[in-house]
Amino acid sequence: MNEFWDYGCSTLLRSAVLFGIVQLVDYWARRQRFHWQRRDFFALVMLLMLMPGNWLALRPASSPTGHAPASTPKLLKRSECRNWLEWQAGDFVRPVSAATPSIRMKFPATAGLIDWLPTVYLIVAILLIGRQVGQYRFWRRRLRQLPELNDAFVRRQFELACVKCDMEPAAVRLLDGGTRLPVPASFGWDGFHIILPRQAAQQFSAHELELLFLHELIHLKRRDHWWKLLAGLSSAMWWFNPFVRWAEYRLTAATELEVDRRVLATAAAGRDQAADYARMLLAFHTPSGNTPALSGLSFHGRELKKTNTGHTDE
């Protein structure tokens, strides 16, 4: 129980320190207008937050021989008690190294509540992990029910985007999302899938569709679905640590920003085309956030604003 408590407190303290460091780097980068956010960096931050080891020790460690330190309290024997009441209680301890030791009483009721913490932690972690797994299974079943997108104009732009990404069009299924999915998205489990909403095929030009397909294909090529799964499971396992949730959010944001930069670089887009791409992202913005099982253009408004600012500034 002590090890569980020490690890949790140490993880929170380490996470707070790393959070402060990243905030300072963010402040400096904004002043210098420097795009520094990378997926791998925030994955490393999350790993440092969660790795074992009590960097900030909260209690003295045991001696190399395995015995307790000399200052460890011990239960009193009857011969050591100063009166009958002291011996009868049985829950009093006296420090060994003290010349005139004071009496300290333990609280069994509080200790019983603390002993329940691992059980509560496991129950909440299992529920959150089950929610993650359930979402992946739900989307896997749902994708099997979606039809292929056979529009000749859309398929042509999709094949051009595959050539620019060095991917075979036959290796990726292009599905018609209809009106069920409000934003384009990619799914990397059980094969590569790209889901395109019906409104995207109807209202966007050829160049905008090419940029859209480049975004999703780069997600699949970078295997972002694996990183998203690991980050989501880590956030579920360490649900008591709010800094881990923050690191997951920043990892997702950095992933989207990296993909957007690669899209513009691959398409050799100029300033005007970057502005068109930013407007396309805003057209697909949904306030409901994104689904852990999917990677794509669904994003939060605050980070989407940063993305668009970065696109128009480049």
Domain ranges of the chain: 71-115, 119-313
Alpha-carbon distance 198 to 149, whole Å?
10
What 3-state class would DSSP assign to 107?
coil
φ and ψ at 56, to 5 degrees? -110, 85
Structure tokens given for 152: 């000749």
- Of residues 144, 194, 133, 146, the one with CA closest to residue 169: 194
Q: Would you write out the chain's pLDDT as a tens digit for each of its 314 residues?
A: 567 777 888 889 999 999 999 999 989 988 888 878 888 999 999 999 988 765 544 444 444 554 544 444 455 454 555 544 444 444 444 444 444 444 444 444 445 556 677 888 899 999 999 998 888 888 888 888 888 888 888 899 999 999 988 888 888 988 888 776 777 888 887 788 888 887 777 778 888 888 889 999 999 999 898 898 899 999 999 999 999 999 999 999 899 889 888 888 887 766 667 777 777 777 766 544 445 555 555 444 444 445 444 444 54
For residue 201, the model assigns a pLDDT of 72
Q: What is the DSSP string of 129-163?
A: HHHHHHHHHHHHHHHHHSPB---HHHHHHHHHHHH
For residue 24, the model assigns a pLDDT of 93
Alpha-carbon distance 39 to 185, whole Å?
19
Structure tokens given for 2: 């002590």
What is the largest distance, in Å, between two alpha-carbon atoms of the chain?
Answer: 95
On whether the pTM is more than 0.85, the answer is: no
For residue 80, the model assigns a pLDDT of 52
Helix H or strand E segment including 230: helix 224-237
Structure tokens given for 71: 């200052």
What 3-state class would DSSP assign to 36?
coil
Distance of CA 307 to the CA centre of its chain: 19
DSSP summary character for residue 241:
-
Q: In what order do the strands lie in the sheet with 172-178?
A: 172-178, 192-197, 185-187, 295-296
Alpha-carbon distance 126 to 6, whole Å?
22
For residue 79, the model assigns a pLDDT of 52
DSSP summary character for residue 211:
H
Alpha-carbon distance 63 to 282, whole Å?
60
Alpha-carbon distance 136 to 126, whole Å?
15
Given a contact cutoff of 8 angstroms between Cβ atoms, the answer to whether 266 and 199 are in contact is no
For residue 244, the model assigns a pLDDT of 94
CA-CA-CA-CA torsion for 236, 237, 240, 243, nearest 10 degrees?
Answer: -70
